Structure 1
Amino acid sequence: EIKRSVLEHYTKVGLYPYSKFYLRKIEEEFGGYWRNHFSTIGLVGMNEALLNMWGVGIEDPEGRKFAVKVLEHMRERLVEFQRETGNMYNLEATPAEGASYRLARIDKQKYPNIKVANEENVKRGLAPFYTNSTQLPADCKLDLFEALEHQEHLQTLYTGGTVFHIWLGERLSSWRSAATLVRKIFTSFRIPYITLTPTFSVCLNHGYLSGEHKQCPHCGAKCEVYSRVVGYLRPVDQWNEGKQAEFAMRRKYAVKGEVN
């Protein structure tokens, strides 16, 4: 509510001129420029919370059951906040591109024995990070459809944005494979939103290369490796240290040939 009031004030005094123009009708009707916008609340690191409390991750049935209870409780609280304030609230699997790294780093400094997502790699000098929201850990060994079944119970509880990333080692063999896979997922599961995320590389001399290549297989030149961080395809070496550590752990889903 403090953020909302500050944003409202900044808009009124002209610090957001374009937003002020486009939202002027909202202000005239409801008495505030941002009254038709949601206050978004999310969580980060549910998997690691479970590891620290009980020694099991979110892929464990009891871990998932607890995560469902947490999300249901958060939804109930947000309804209370809406009634108290008259403003709209939503529960979102927030991207946490920076927070998943920053919060893990701070916690690890304060509490050295706390478990983070990549505990073994941290011991070897890599940056710590938390698994985003209620997602499965980056190195989870469930196959694609087991993972979708697991996440269906959680991702359908969010009232805001959520996503299931399908990490692919390289692009699918054809657009028909992609179309068939997407159709199968959305006819079998209630997952709201998915991505198909292949890893690819770019050589200055030979252009696009399928898969991860730190050096070009044709000329040996250094390549830029691209993958998705949160919602964007970007060079991996431009990600923050925590997200780079996550990329190093990502287990790719096996989706080969035509999908039946």
Structure 2
Amino acid sequence: KLMKGVSHTTPEGEEFALRVMNRLRGACEKWKAKTGLGFGLYGTPAESLCYRFARIDKERFGTIEDVTDKGYYTNSYHVDVREEIDAFSKFSFESQFQKISTGGCISYVEIPNMRHNTEALEEVVKFIYDNIQYAEFNTKSDYCHVCGFDGEITINDDNEWECPVCHNKDHAKMTVIRRTCGYLGENFWNVGKTKEIKARVMHL
């Protein structure tokens, strides 16, 4: 976005992003041949860096729209969490970058509770099997220990986790599960990752 002024899901941005990724892959192959060491290009979510690097860059370069103004970075080749894109298109788009990421990769989509629509979920699983190396689903399965709410505990305007029913904000009295670093975890993330989680849109 900084270099081209457009998302890498546009034709111009995609061409540039693929050139960057292939340049990085070429450097890994060159270093591997020169040293005999197993260099690889890793498509990492680098979750803790998404805030740290964005904060440092904002201090150094100022506020840049859609780059340093969000409070977080979307890492690697991944589509910006705010971008409206369906699950199938997202997986198709990101699959081409996974092929270049010889050291590892992951892609994911945000989905609602699919317990009453398992047929649709099955279609996505089939698509993953045929089109992409490694993919995950993100869904919300939170629990408030104060009122017994079972669903999605949300992030309020002050970037605090809050039960939508009883408005409990005590981390010790709620269980919040989100996928970060490719894994489902419960650790109440730094301010940048919290902003990124809040900005995530549904893909299905």
TM-score bin, normalised by smaller chain: 0.7 to 0.9
What CA deviation, in whole Å up to 9, does each residue of 1:200-244 have, x standing for no partner? 211225657133453264xx26244321112222337x1111110
* 1:230 matches 2:181: yes
| Whole-angstrom distance in 2 between the partners of 1:118 and 1:235 | 26
Task: From the superposition, tell whether residues 171 and 198 of structure 1 become closer, same or farther in structure 2 (CA, over 3 Å).
Answer: farther
Q: Could you tell me how far apart the structure 1 residues matched to 2:63 and 2:118 are?
A: 47
* 1:67 is the counterpart of 2:17: yes
Contact persistence 2:106–2:182 (CA under 8 A): no
Q: Secondary structure at the match of 2:104?
A: coil
Q: Greater Rg, structure 1 or structure 2?
A: 1
RMSD: 2.3
- Aligned pairs, how many? 192
- The structure-2 alpha-carbon separation of the partners of 1:163 and 1:92, relative to structure 1 and needing over 3 Å to count, comes to same
TM-score (norm 2): 0.83
TM-score scaled by structure 1? Answer: 0.66
Q: Percent identity?
A: 27
Q: Is the 8 A contact 2:84 2:203 kept in 1?
A: no
Tell me if the contact between 1:104 and 1:129 (Cα under 8 Å) persists in the aligned partners: yes
Report the equivalent of 1:146.
89
Match of 2:4 among 44, 54, 59: 54
Shift in alpha-carbon separation, 1:56–1:177, aligned structure 2, 3 A: closer
Partner residue of 1:129? 72
CA distance in 2, matches of 1:221, 1:108: 33
Structure 1 stretches lacking a partner, 5+ long: 1-50, 123-127, 255-260
Higher fraction of helix: 1
Match of 1:215 in 2: 163
